[in-house]
């Protein structure tokens, strides 16, 4: 039952594009995150939209945000990583860098989250898991809904957070998911989301990208699946180097 529900949910999440090393022409909306270096946990975020004349314009931001406690590292997304690049690993405390499709929403917030009707939203409860256990490669980095509330030690460990305010609104960043290589790479990083920042931005994340709740809600409200939105996260120097070849905004 849980496997059937998993595949059903994944079928609802818009698969934007095949893996490629550029921002696709069909993409007209991008969340861009710029950090000052690979080891910085601070990021500046902007939501950009492509105008009718082909130029990109910032419609939200700049927004301060936090990354993983150790900064960022190349992730598995819509881009091709450089040869011999260091790739994100489970538990490395780094956020995945590159170009990523965006998935659905997982929320516990009692206040409704304004979003486009075609972006799937899961109201997280005690049956909902996100698997980060590398000893379960067939479930790794996948959402699972049980047919009973989590109760075993393993289920409780993998259970999505129920009462943690920073995780009350989560927008999936499609790092190492079905939207990338067709199957998550075991151990290459899991459970990567946009979510609300902790301690008003005084604390980094374990690998997600976090920001103020009002700013996160504003970004989510503006996202439109037909615009094929992506998340671009890169250090400033890397962004400048790749801007032309990757067709970055």
pLDDT digits (tens, 9 = 90+) for 135-186: 999 999 999 999 999 999 999 999 999 999 999 999 999 999 976 656 899 9
- Does residue 32 form part of some domain? yes
Question: DSSP string spanning 188-211?
Answer: S----EEEEPSGGGTS-BSSSEEE
67 lies in which domain range?
Answer: 2-14+26-242
Task: Answer yes or no: is 247 within a domain.
Answer: no
Residue 19 falls within a domain, yes or no?
no
248 in any annotated domain: no
Token couple for 45: 């975020």
C-alpha–C-alpha distance, residues 249 and 247, integer Å: 7
CB-based burial label for 34 (10 Å; 0-12, 13-18, 19+): middle
Query: Does 190 map to a domain?
Result: yes
Whether 222 is in a domain gets the answer: yes
Q: What angle do CA 149, 120, 118 make, to 5 degrees?
A: 160
> Is 20 a member of any domain?
no
Q: Total domain count for the chain?
A: 1
Q: Which of 103, 209, 229, 116 is nearest to 166 (CA)?
A: 209
pTM: 0.90
Q: How many CB atoms lie within 10 A of CB 221?
A: 12
Sign of CA dihedral 244, 246, 247, 249: negative
Summarize pLDDT for 1-53 with one digit per residue, the tens. Answer: 444 444 434 433 443 333 345 788 899 999 999 999 999 999 999 999 999 99
């Amino acid at each position: 039952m849980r496997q059937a529900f998993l595949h059903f949910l994944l079928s609802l999440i818009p698969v934007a594009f095949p893996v490629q090393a550029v921002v696709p022409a069909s993409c007209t909306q991008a969340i861009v995150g710029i950090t000052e270096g690979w080891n910085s946990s601070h990021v500046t975020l902007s939501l950009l939209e492509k105008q009718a004349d082909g130029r990109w314009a910032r419609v939200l931001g700049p927004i301060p945000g936090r990354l993983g406690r150790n900064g960022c590292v190349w992730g598995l997304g819509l881009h091709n990583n450089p040869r011999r690049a260091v790739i994100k690993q489970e538990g490395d405390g780094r956020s995945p860098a590159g170009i990523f499709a965006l998935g659905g929403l997982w929320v516990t917030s009692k206040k409704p989250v304004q979003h486009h009707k075609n972006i799937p939203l899961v109201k997280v409860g005690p049956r909902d898991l996100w698997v980060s256990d590398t000893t379960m490669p067939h479930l790794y980095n996948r959402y699972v809904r049980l047919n009973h509330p989590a109760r075993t030690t393993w289920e409780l460990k993998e259970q999505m957070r129920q009462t943690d305010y920073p995780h009350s609104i989560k927008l999936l960043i499609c790092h190492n998911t079905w939207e990338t290589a067709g199957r998550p790479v075991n151990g290459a990083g899991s459970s990567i989301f946009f979510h609300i920042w902790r301690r008003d931005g005084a604390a980094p994340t374990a690998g997600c990208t976090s920001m103020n709740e009002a700013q996160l809600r504003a970004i989510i409200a503006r996202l439109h699946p037909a615009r094929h939105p992506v998340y671009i996260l890169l250090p400033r120097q890397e962004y400048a180097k790749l801007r032309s070849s990757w067709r970055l905004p």
